[in-house]
Amino acid sequence: MNKVVENDVFLQRRRNTAGKLGLSGLQKYTAAIRMLAYGLAPDAIDEYLRMGETTSKKSLLHFTQGVIKHFEEDYLRSPTDEDLRRILYQNEMRGFPGMICSIDCMHWEWKNCPTAWRGQYQGRSGKAFLILEAVAYQDLWIWHSFFGIPGSSNDLNVLHRSPVFDDVLTGKAPPITFQVNGHEYNMGYYLTYGIYPNWATFIQRFSRPQLETERLFANRQAHVRKDVERAFGVLQARFAIVRQPCMSYDEDILGDIMKACIILHNMMVEDERDMYIRADVLRRSHEEDLSSLTATVNNGEPFEFQTGKPFSINA
């Protein structure tokens, strides 16, 4: 709160032309948090904080922009080499060597979508939606977010417009080396479900498993892929504003709200992950355990996707 308030004149306490002190930064901050956490309408803040509707709206906008400006670099960044080594080690302990995270999309209903745009944003249910694409890890930390695609699109359309693989395509992504069934592979992968393309960087479950090994893999893949679904559920539980239909008419405002909620969500994950069950396993990062996992920046040459999966299952 102090970081955001001290860098925003609107959120600071000032005197009006009559010399009377206005609302404090704590009051404006509280108004913004109540709208995010409880999904309250701006005019409902007056009952608790004696604050008008216009001031409540402006407080929310300034607060979300301040959170993004000051904390996006730390709490919505790409994983570093050290982060990747920790993630790869923990996922290998779960039975998926070379796995980075899970990727999926979430739909946010846009109740006040302008009528002229409704056809573009309308999903199969007849309601307007905005889509959030996210990459999440086991501890619920969201490593990547891409928001604002119309709800008439599906997850595949979102993927083609998303910057999630920009670092890979430009040769800036750290290569990941691992072995499965005696074969060495040099690219990490994400767990997805069936709509995603058959790229080497995606691992999907078997749609109709027949063999015992296929059924085992399908069950394990479905279990681990739920990381991103759990992250969406916790995000909506913590911030009712993204669980309820959004009321704003401006898409840019909705984008700032979603990004600020994700940043605050990651702050809570960082603060609470030590209290998780099996938190000692999530923290394990001994050098001797990570010696077989490499994550260093490559030579900068662009990478081309290969059709197929990074590994196959041997009976």
Kindly report, residue by residue over 126-170, the tens digit of the pLDDT. Answer: 899 999 999 999 999 999 999 999 999 999 999 999 998 887 777
Kindly report, residue by residue over 20-56, the tens digit of the pLDDT. Answer: 898 999 999 999 999 999 999 888 888 888 888 999 9
SS3 content of the chain, % helix, strand, coil (to 5): 45, 15, 40
Average pLDDT for 243-248: 92
Q: How far is CA 247 from the centre of its chain?
A: 22
Kindly report, residue by residue over 49-76, the tens digit of the pLDDT. Answer: 888 899 999 999 999 999 999 999 999 9
Q: What is the residue-wise DSSP string for 104-138?
A: EEEEEEBTT--GGGHHHHB-TTSSBEEEEEEEE-T
For residue 296, the model assigns a pLDDT of 39
Q: Is the pTM of this model over 0.85?
A: yes
Kindly report, residue by residue over 161-212, the tens digit of the pLDDT. Answer: 999 888 777 767 777 888 888 888 888 889 998 889 888 889 898 888 888 9
Cα 287 to Cα 85: distance, rounded to the nearest angstrom = 10
